[in-house]
Structures are given as structure tokens and as C-alpha cells.
A and B are shown apart, each in its own frame.
Chain A
């Protein structure tokens, strides 16, 4: 089955700097890769997603890139702000689970943005 590895586990940046979180996946058939932000006491919130027929997607300060050959995808946050501080999870749809929405999540990255 699918396996997703996420790095780094913690990331500390200065306000205004960029942050990059990287994930690798094992199943080359996987075709959908969402990123979630989870704040303390809340459920994960979808912030951006990408499908395998696209190499890059941007939404204001957030971008995701996908390299299908290397089986890795990355989240880029530019001009970070203190409110970006949270735990970020990457995920991949488990193609082997048929027509279900089963997502395999990475272990999470705790991002701290220092003012």
C-alpha cells in the first residue's frame, strides 16, 4: 500500500521568510495530493491540493509542486506570518483502495513562525 514520508518534523522560521515542507510517496499510481493545516484543538483544514496531471499550483502565498518521476511533492509558503504557525500534513490518495477517499497522511510538520 501507499506510504508517505514527511520532512522536517519541526521547522522554525523568521516572519517574512519562506518555509518548505517535503513529502515522498511510494505508490506511483497515486494521483491526488492534498495539504492540510491543523491548529491546536481543531481538525485538519485543506489549504491546497494538486492532482498528478499538474506540476505546480499556487494560491496567494502558498504553492505546491509535484515531481511524479521522483515521487515527491512540496509545500512552499512565502512571506510567512505568525498565524501560519500550525502543524502541516501532506497526504496522498491511496490508489489501491479503489473508489474510496482513503488518504494516507504524513507524520506532520510543526511550523513555528517567529515575529
Chain B
């Protein structure tokens, strides 16, 4: 059984650019959530995807968008990058929509915006 894998592990982008982060969910998991973790803080919910549709969103602007594919993998896209977008982006998968069964997190993508 493979866990959650994220790519790339590290990324440096310039303010104003666009970025795409990728996530492969754990085998058997059909729900993917994305979280942003600023340095020294707890993760903050960006959105969740279930059956290829966004079904929940945190307090993030529309320039944060995502996709889920038929194999349950997912992408997070961020447009018009700002310095404050620098953070660790975590992908989490679960076998049910409501996360009562516990998320499995990936190791994250460290994004630095300069």
C-alpha cells in the first residue's frame, strides 16, 4: 500500500507567477484535501475534492484552484503568486468524505515565493 505522494518537494517561484502542485492519493482513498502550513503554524484548510468536484473550501481567494482526476490524484494551482503564499502545501487523502477515518498526509511541497 503506497502512501500519499506529492511533487515537487521544493519549488521557488517569482511573485506574479503561477504554480501547479501535484498529489497522488493513498491507494483506496477517493477524497483529497489541500492544506497550507505557514512556518510555525498549524495547517489551514484550502479545499477538498470528492468525485472530481470541489465540495468544501476554506478562506482562500479564487486564485487558489484545484482539480481531481478519475484516478483520485489531484492538483493545486495558484495564480498571481504573492510573497505570503510561501508555505508548505500539504495534500491529505481519506477513504471517506467526512474525514472521520483520519487523513493520511503527504510530506508536502515547500513553496518559496521571491
Asked if A46 CB lies within 8 Å of chain B CBs, one says yes
* Known A-B contacts A101-B33, A102-B56, A108-B42; A44 and B99 likewise in contact (beta carbons under 8 Å): no
Bound: A36/B102 CA distance, A: 10
* A100: contacting residue among B40, B43, B55, CB under 8 A: B55
Asked if B21 CB lies within 8 Å of chain A CBs, one says no
Give every chain A residue within 8 A of B55 (Cβ-Cβ). Answer: 99-100
Of listed A32, A44, A101, residue having the most chain B CB within 10 A:
A101
* Known A-B contacts A41-B107, A43-B4; A101 and B43 likewise in contact (beta carbons under 8 Å): no
Contact, CB under 8 Å: B98 / A43: no
Asked if A42 CB lies within 8 Å of chain B CBs, one says yes
Contact, CB under 8 Å: B100 / A42: no
Question: A84-103 interface mask toward B, CB cutoff 8 Å, 1 = contact, 0 = none?
Answer: 00000101011001111111
Asked if B2 CB lies within 8 Å of chain A CBs, one says no
| CB of A26 to closest CB in B, whole Å | 15
Q: Interface size for chain B: under 10, 10 to 19, 20 to 34, or 35 or more residues?
A: 20 to 34
Give every chain A residue within 8 A of B41 (Cβ-Cβ). Answer: 107-108
Q: Which residue of B lies closest to A102 (CB)?
A: B45
Question: B83-110 interface mask toward A, CB cutoff 8 Å, 1 = contact, 0 = none?
Answer: 0000000101010111110111111100
Give every chain A residue within 8 A of B68 (Cβ-Cβ). Answer: none
Question: A66-89 interface mask toward B, CB cutoff 8 Å, 1 = contact, 0 = none?
Answer: 000000000000000000000001
Give every chain A residue within 8 A of B90 (Cβ-Cβ). Answer: 43-44
Give every chain A residue within 8 A of B99 (Cβ-Cβ). Answer: 32, 93, 100-103
Give every chain B residue within 8 A of A106 (Cβ-Cβ). Answer: 42
User: Nearest 9 A-B pairs (CB), nearest first?
Assistant: A101-B99, A100-B56, A105-B42, A43-B105, A46-B102, A102-B45, A43-B107, A100-B48, A44-B105
Residues of chain A whose beta carbon lies under 8 Å from any beta carbon of chain B: 4, 6, 32, 34, 36, 41-46, 49, 51, 89, 91, 93-94, 97-108
